[in-house]
Amino acid sequence: MKIVLAQQNYHIGNFESNTQKIIDGINEAKRQKADLVVFSELCICGYPPRDFVEFNDFINKCYEAIDRIKEHADTIGVLVGSPARNPTIEGKDLFNAAFLLYDKQVKGEVHKTLLPTYDIFDEYRYFEPAYEWKVLEFKGKRLAVTICEDIWNLGDNPLYRSAPMDKLMEQNPDLMINLSASPFDYIHEEERQSIIKANVLKYKLPMFYCNATGSQTEIVFDGASLIFDKNGKLCKALPLFDEAIDGVILNEDGTTNCETPSDIKPISQYKPNPTELDYERNISFIHRALVFGIRDYFTKMNFKQAILGSSGGIDSAVTLALACEALGKDNVRAILMPSPYSTSHSVDDAVNLSKKLQNPYDIIRIDQVYESLLGTLKPVFNDLPFSIAEENLQSRTRGNLLMAIANKFNYILLNTSNKSELATGYGTLYGDMAGGLGVLGDCYKMQIYTLAKYINRNEEIIPDNIITKPPSAELRPDQKDIDSLPDYPVLDQVLYQYIERRQGPNEIKAKGFDAQLVDRIIKLVNTNEYKRNQFCPIIRISPKAFGVGRRMPIVGKYLS
């Protein structure tokens, strides 16, 4: 039996596009002489549909799409993911389901058992977990079909009574198939292959794992669909961050005739989950995810061009380089806005960067606007000494100018803030925190330096002076980031322990970090939640990003 995986990029709620894409995938699978083609989790509507599934019309359109698709499942079996109504109306009225289509009919339906409610996931809000488990019969084969999270419990998780595959094994299946929408992060990429292989070794069955690709606002799905034979041999790996349709012929004994893909490193070479932030970890994947996230967000939102403030600093430089790669150099406009406190080398560095990237840029000095605002505020400010108010006024002036140009020319403003700044509140609301998409908001400062070096791996794109000079907001004379924040190498490590690893202050201090410094950093994180709550969507590349995956009360007092 030949089984192929259709790794595709769907658009949430775009039923016409998704349906046609699936039909095209079926036709390609037929061309490859496949017996069965497998699509990803909730491919009919796109993942995650969130509150769209609360609309009855949305679910009706899912069923209408299935009716259209099944007409093409004539000589080939098709497995698709879609919400399914719960006919018993016990519990919630929907299941997260997989449908087997064949001979222009719905031949079977299975439901997801383990509904994740952590990080970015909130499936139990919408779906009822499966309460019965059955293999699907197809051309003499017994298919154990599961959906995403179902294979992540191997029966050793105390949160669950048993693994779904344990139930399905009672019916003597011939192979395992998993429809997934598993997002990218720089740790999960390695864990995923390991857990899939662990299922194969436990149940001694081949595994066909089909994952979605594409970016859905802040969440990036990387694809990387996999096929293992019953012995745990990796037989096929579909590409990362791209669409593909490919598969293997499964022999009667559960093996295939494929060689192990050469571009996949053995699981034994993977590092365990890091206890410290590793700046080099999967940096090439992070780079690809960010470029992919920008491009797909613009494509699906029908945006064409981007704008950003180019300061001559590392964050704006990396953002500009990524955006030019994602959207094309002619579609990214950089605005240089020097103030009375900007250094000449910052302007020169930003100009040199745009010349190397060949993107359009403008220089708009903000001195006059800034002085005019200070004059307007003088009766209110009186003769009070220079403070953060005057600093932030420069940032908000820049934000206003960027948004004015964006409105005039239909650009989308890319935000350049990094995770270290967002965590500690080192940013100005309605100023440098303005934007429609946060490109680097899930990258710590030192990761951004690593990204810059990766971007320069073949030639100098980002000028070396941008990488080597001390970071500064340049909002007052001789200002440096270190005047307000701890050294970034230390700051990032403490933030990583608190945010990604959810370590409390005593646990972090026990690692050797200065006690007062830990208390100060955690207080900064907790007291600036109100700022992050007003921030734009952030492309997620870590296991714990600000936004939908990290929900903290604004008025909370914990450790603050």
Report all structural domains of the chain as residue ranges with CATH numbers, in order of start: 2-269 (3.60.110.10), 304-532 (3.40.50.620)
d(CA 21, CA 15): 10
For 311-328, the pLDDT digits (tens) are 999 999 999 999 999 999
d(CA 501, CA 341): 39
Residue whose structure tokens are 């080099």: 280
Split at pLDDT 50, 70, 90, the class of 261 is low
Q: What average pLDDT score do residues 344-363 get?
A: 96
pLDDT value at residue 268: 44
pLDDT value at residue 380: 96
- Give the rounded percent of residues in the chain with a pLDDT score beyond 70: 96
Q: Collapsing DSSP states into helix, strand and coil, what is residue 399?
A: helix
pTM passes above 0.85? yes
How far from 46 is each of 12, 117, 295, CA to CA, in Å? 4, 18, 18
For 394-420, the pLDDT digits (tens) are 999 999 999 999 999 999 999 999 999
Residue 206: half-sphere exposure toward Cβ, Cα within 13 Å: 27
pLDDT value at residue 269: 47
Residue of 77, 69, 84 lying closest to 143 (CA atoms): 77
CA dihedral over 444, 281, 346, 397, signed as positive or negative: negative
Record the tokens describing residue 179, joined without a space: 């429809």
Catalytic residues: 41, 112, 148
Split at pLDDT 50, 70, 90, the class of 95 is very high
Q: Are 114 and 164 in contact (CB under 8 A)?
A: yes
Record the tokens describing residue 431, joined without a space: 């100023």
pLDDT value at residue 260: 65
Residue 330 CB burial class (10 angstroms; 0-12, 13-18, ≥19): exposed
Residue of 456, 451, 411 lying closest to 434 (CA atoms): 411
pLDDT value at residue 557: 78
Higher-confidence residue of 262 and 155: namely 155
Q: What angle do CA 558, 516, 553 make, to 5 degrees?
A: 20
Q: Are 529 and 553 in contact (CB under 8 A)?
A: yes
Split at pLDDT 50, 70, 90, the class of 507 is very high
Residue 36 has pLDDT above 70, yes or no: yes
Kindly state the greatest CA–CA separation across the chain.
86
pLDDT value at residue 484: 84
Residue 350 has pLDDT above 50, yes or no: yes
